[in-house]
Chain A
Amino acid sequence: MRFEDISISKIQLDNRTCEISFLSDLTVLRNSIQQKGILQPVHLKALGTGRFQVVSGFKRIDCAQALGFTSIPAFILEDEISLLECFERAVEENFFSRKFNVIEKAGVIQKLEKEFNISKEVLIQKYLPFLGLNASETVYQIYKNSVTLDPFVQEYIVRDHLPVYVIEEFFKFSLPDQRVIILFLQSIHFSVSTLKEFLVWIYEISLRDRSSISDMLLEPLKAIVQDHTLDGRQKLQVLRQWLKNKRYPRLSTLETRFVMLKQKLHLPLEATEFFEDNKLHMKLSFQNKKELEQWIEKMKEASLKPELDEILKIV
């Protein structure tokens, strides 16, 4: 390996075989290069024709070119080194200097498979652990599927640091549906767990009702998101309830009825989750005898109301 200043015009900039980065912010790097120049040389592979292929340093080269640099300091890897070895070096170099996001790891796996013809077995056994992943078919499939996601979904995944168990939910949707979902997600912010629930529910509703995702997202849900009388949290609540009613119509009716009856009884009644048990629970707090007596009075009143019989029938 030798060190040289290489003219950017001699570099094959369109050959991105060894590129790994996905969605990186170049602002900081550009500013640094503008102020201090390129501190860390890039790695290039000599192609034997006086031209060079980039092994690592795509972002540095792109910034340098945008800033009007004509040459760049580089370590030159000789022609004898195979491209696969170069790629492995690129991965290693990147991997030790920063954390790869999911789509970058997926990209590495895809390149190893497609560009370097690495068999699935070797990928699973050798390269998944190399990327800090479990050597299993399931993990391999997840990453393989991630590459096929709509680019906007990929971007969303990276920006929101979505974990694999949420990413998996996107695989169930067609590419056009993914695009519709992503457009919808621009207008409302879900936490990770509510996003998972949202994706599961819209998928299951569309499967059950044989309805299209866009019909669901464009009509009723869009109206909720665009309702200016609601703040962000309220929108999420209304949207969640709408979906829950649709996904669990009978259970939701039961729950709504329960809440209504409970309010009429003026008691802090609770049922077990999803009414799995047939008992009602009540937790009372009081500070003195008078407060206790008030509770007793409320209970007496409740025991005479027809709503009590009805709520007991529900559970």
Chain B
Amino acid sequence: MIFYRPSKIYVDPSVGDSPITQSILKTFPDVPCDYTCEKPNILNQLSGYSDPLLEGKKHLWITRNQGKLLKKCGASTSSLNNLVCCNYFILDFSFNCHFECVYCFLQEYTNLPLMIVYANIDEMLHALQELLDTTSSSIRIGTGEMADSLALDEITGFSQYLVPFFANQKKAFLELKTKSDSIQNLLKWDPKGQTVVAWSMSPSSYIQKYDFKTASFEERLKAAKLCEQAGYKIAFHLDPLIAEPTWKEDYQELIDHLFSNFNPAWVSLGALRFNANLKSMIQKRFPHTTLTVGEFVSTPDGKKRYFRQFREELYQTVHGYIEKYHRQTPTYLCMENKVVWQNSMGSVPLSEQDLEKHIVTHMGTFERCQNLSLLLFLRGLFFA
């Protein structure tokens, strides 16, 4: 994994005293730093660079998140009415990522291509508490939507506030989604079963080909093992699923590897998708990549996906590999419609709450009861 080092830091004075800001500044005492209430000036100059995104990432802006700190996951608020979603919340703690995954949708955000860290941690914890006070069911809250949850953790120290906060909760789980192996801070805390560290996983050769600067396959597995030993639950996102010519063998090997070493809290599957803008961005930034030359077609939400029958084959096959382990691991599809759910998984969740309940119930019951028949019963209950 390549560690992040900015060439310049911009600090919004309103978060100058935040422990997050202080942690960053302490890590990079020699990096030039500007205090400014405005958006950093560099934003106006980035268009002059041949790769504005790459250049923008060299600039780190520490500011306050003025918007909604907690949001429902994008899929659950999508305009498409037949998407099946889990009831997932996102804590916006950071924007952008110094890794260079070829398919990353953040490449589309060309109007603000800086590395942004939101340092108003107190307000974030407050917003979390408010949400939890008003929610009756168990929920999952993730931080890895607009950034990798842990890529900058050794610089920002975010996890040191979030993990203990969730350790004191009963009905909320924190999900840290990552492609890094920055877990040193995590190992200092007992998560009390409330934090799941989820690695986005692909076959090793795909990581080398498409996930530049991230932790390698082996590094991710090693980090996951250490987290598991420290009491964290482990989950895996097989997203994006990429249909390379040898995908069947590659994913078989991947699942074998993951399931013979871990007992994941959940696995999500999501076939590669991108919109037309992202496609041209990918082709421009990675001109020789073969990522976009699969059998993609336009789908009703404007995204390009593998055509439906092929997506179903992907999901059925990978889900089949998982099922062979008879672990009853909750496995869900990301950003997919009911038809695909039905044809690939054999059932469609009744609602997002039901899907969510299925996932978190499994987490709760997983340790307490080894009674597989009860799990089978739960599975039958929550799926139509």
- Residues in chain A within 8 A of chain B (CB atoms): 120-121, 124, 136-137, 141, 172, 204-205, 207-208, 247-251, 254, 273-278, 314
The reply to whether the CB of B288 lies closer than 8 angstroms to some CB of chain A is yes
The reply to whether the CB of B310 lies closer than 8 angstroms to some CB of chain A is yes
**Residues of A with C-beta under 8 A to B307:** 248, 250-251, 254, 274-276
A154 CB to nearest chain B CB (Å): 21
14 contacts between A and B (CB under 8 A): A124-B48, A137-B48, A137-B49, A137-B52, A205-B293, A207-B290, A208-B290, A248-B297, A251-B307, A254-B307, A273-B297, A274-B297, A274-B308, A314-B309
Given the complex of chains A and B, what is the CA–CA distance between A250 and B313 in angstroms?
12
Which chain A positions have C-beta within 8 A of B292? 204
Q: A204-B292, A251-B295, A273-B298 are in contact. List 18 more A-B contacts (CB 8 A).
A: A120-B48, A136-B47, A137-B52, A207-B288, A208-B293, A248-B295, A248-B307, A250-B295, A250-B307, A251-B297, A254-B307, A273-B297, A274-B298, A274-B299, A275-B307, A276-B308, A277-B339, A314-B309
Instruction: Enumerate B207-252 residues with CB–CB distance to A below 8 Å.
Output: none
A236 CB to nearest chain B CB (Å)? 21
Say whether A278 contacts B339, CB under 8 Å: yes
Min CB–CB distance A255 → chain B (angstroms): 10
Contact of B287 among A172, A250, A314 (CB under 8 A): A172
Given A172-B287, A208-B293, A248-B295, CB of A276 within 8 Å of CB of B300: yes
Of A124, A172, A205, A275, the residue contacting B309 (CB under 8 A) is A275
Given contacts A172-B283, A274-B308, A276-B300, contact A124 B290 (CB under 8 A): no
Chain A residues with CB under 8 Å of B308's CB are: 274-276, 278
> From residue 292 to 329 of chain B, which have CB atoms closer than 8 A to chain A?
292-293, 295, 297-300, 307-310
**B343 contacts the other chain (CB 8 A):** yes
A278 near B343 (CB under 8 angstroms)? yes
| Chain A residues whose C-beta falls within 8 Å of the C-beta of B339 in the assembled complex | 277-278
Over the window 33-48 of chain B, the binary record of Cβ atoms lying under 8 Å from chain A Cβ atoms (1 yes, 0 no) is 0000000000000011
Residues of B within 8 A of A276 (CB): 297, 299-300, 307-308
A136 and B46 alpha carbons, distance in the complex (Å): 11
Most central of A172, A247, A251, A276 by chain B CB within 10 Å: A276
* Chain A residue at minimal CB-CB distance from B289: A207
Contact B310 A250 (CB under 8 A): yes
Contacts A172-B283, A207-B290, A274-B307; A124 near B47 (Cβ below 8 A) = yes
Name the B residues within 8 Å of A205 (CB-CB).
Answer: 293
Instruction: State in angstroms the CA–CA spacing of A273 and B283 once bound together.
Output: 25
B-side interface residues toward A, CB under 8 Å?
47-50, 52, 283, 287-288, 290, 292-293, 295, 297-300, 307-310, 339, 343
What CA separation (Å) do A275 and B288 show in the bound complex?
A: 30
Residues on B with beta carbons closer than 8 Å to the beta carbon of A250: 295, 307, 309-310
Which 7 A-B pairs have CB atoms at the shortest separation, nearest pair first?
A137-B47, A274-B297, A208-B293, A204-B293, A278-B339, A248-B295, A274-B307
> Smallest CB–CB gap between B355 and chain A, Å?
21
Cα A136 to Cα B309 in complex, Å, equals 41
**Cα(A278)–Cα(B337), bound, Å:** 11
Residues of chain A lying within 8 A (CB to CB) of residue B343: 278
Contact B295 A207 (CB under 8 A): no
- B288 — which chain A residues lie within 8 A by C-beta? 207
Given the complex, which residues of A lie within 8 Å of B309, measured CB to CB? 250, 254, 275, 314
Tell me the minimal C-beta distance from B126 to chain A in angstroms: 40
In the complex the two chains form, what is the Cα distance from A277 to B300 in whole Å?
A: 10
| B287: chain A residues within 8 A (beta carbon) | 172
CB-nearest residue of chain B relative to A275? B308
Chain B residue at minimal CB-CB distance from A204: B293
**Chain B residues with CB under 8 A of A274:** 297-299, 307-308
Chain A residue contacts of B293, Cβ below 8 A: 204-205, 207-208
Known: A207-B288, A251-B307, A276-B299. A121 touches B48 (CB 8 A): yes
- Determine which residue in A248, A251, A314 has the highest number of CB atoms from chain B within 10 A of its CB, and name it: A251
Closest to A272 in B: B300
Least distance between A288 CB and chain B CB atoms (Å): 37
Chain B neighbourhood of A251, CB < 8 A:
295, 297, 307, 310
A274 to B292, CA, bound (A): 17
Nearest-Cβ distance from residue B171 to partner chain A, whole angstroms: 37
In angstroms, how far is the closest chain A Cβ from the Cβ of B290?
6
CA distance A205 to B294 in the complex (A): 10
Please, which residue of chain B has its CB at the minimum distance from the CB of A136?
A: B47
- What distance in Å separates the Cβ of B345 from its nearest Cβ neighbour in chain A? 14
Bound-state CA distance A152–B48 (Å) is 30
Q: Which residues of B contact A254 (CB under 8 A)?
A: 307, 309
Residues of B within 8 A of A314 (CB): 309
| B47, B283, B292: most-surrounded residue (chain A CB, <10 A) | B47
Q: Which residues of B contact A275 (CB under 8 A)?
A: 307-309
Min C-beta distance of A133 to chain B, whole Å: 14
How long is the Cα–Cα vector from A208 to B244 in the complex, in angstroms? 10
Q: Which residues of B contact A249 (CB under 8 A)?
A: 295
- Within the assembled complex, what's the spacing in Å between the Cα atoms of A201 and B298? 15
- A172–B279 Cα distance when bound, in Å, is 14
Which of chain A's residues have a CB closer than 8 A to the CB of B283?
172
Residues in B neighbouring A136, C-beta threshold 8 A: 47
**CB-defined contacts of B290 to chain A, threshold 8 Å:** 207-208
Chain B residues near A208: list those with CB within 8 A.
290, 293
Question: What is the CA–CA distance of A277 and B339 in the complex, to the nearest angstrom?
Answer: 7
For A273, the chain B residues whose CB sits under 8 A away are 297-298
A314 vs B309: C-alpha distance when bound (angstroms): 8
A204 and B309 alpha carbons, distance in the complex (Å): 22
Counting chain A CB atoms within 10 Å of each CB, the highest count among B288, B295, B298, B300 belongs to: B295
Whole-angstrom CA separation of A262 from B308 in the bound complex: 20
* Bound form: Cα–Cα A277–B308 in Å: 8
Which A residue's beta carbon lies closest to that of B300? A276
Q: How far is the CB of B304 from chain A (nearest CB, A)?
A: 10
In whole angstroms, what is the CA distance A120 to B47 when docked?
10
A124 to B307, CA, bound (A): 41
Docked pose: A259 CA to B228 CA in angstroms? 53
